Amino acid sequence: MGKFQTGNPGGPGRPRKAEKYAGAVAAAEQRIVDRLPELIDNLFTLAGGVVVEDTNPIDGSMSVYQKPPDRKANEYLIDRILGRPTQAIEAEIDADGSLHILVTYADPDRADPAETPSGPAPDPTGSTAL
């Protein structure tokens, strides 16, 4: 096979994004690692909601209100370093048309039954029949 034929790595073309941005991604991940304890503390604070005191710039009146929890940005940053638990989903349809779904969590302690369709909570082996 010639040097620049299809399927031969190292041929002409754009570098892959992973290679192109490897330095920037590594730097961003290091910034997250450096602040990980602070981000975890933020999750605890935001989980209960935050009280906000706001002053109206026009009339100077002050309002105090409860801001609802917003954890998604922090969760993303933490998941970027710690990873998310994986899950396998198997489904089969019987001859009579009934559907059986099996969800297996890699870490059953992190499995959240509230996020699964109605059915029993995960068992200690990490499998849940739905």
Token digits of residue 65: 């209100």
Same domain, 73 and 26: yes
48 or 100: which carries more pLDDT confidence?
100
pLDDT at 77 over 60: yes
Summary mean pLDDT of the chain: 75
Measured CA distances, 92 to 38, 98, 99, 100, 109 (Å): 44, 8, 6, 5, 26
- The answer to whether 78 and 43 have CB atoms below 8 angstroms apart is yes
pLDDT at 120 over 50: no
Q: How confident is the model over 22-40, as pLDDT tens digits?
A: 999 999 999 999 999 998 8
Considering the entire predicted model, what is its pTM?
0.40
Same domain, 117 and 96: yes
Residue 25, amino acid? V
What is the rounded CA–CA span in Å between residue 113 and residue 121?
5
Q: How confident is the model over 56-76, as pLDDT tens digits?
A: 999 999 999 888 777 777 777
Same domain, 77 and 36: yes
Partners of 87 in the β-ladder: 105
Radius of gyration of the chain (CA): 24
Same domain, 59 and 94: no
Task: Domain count for the chain, please give it.
Answer: 2
Same domain, 29 and 71: yes
| E strand or H helix that includes residue 48 | none
Q: How many residues does the chain have?
A: 130
Same domain, 78 and 101: no
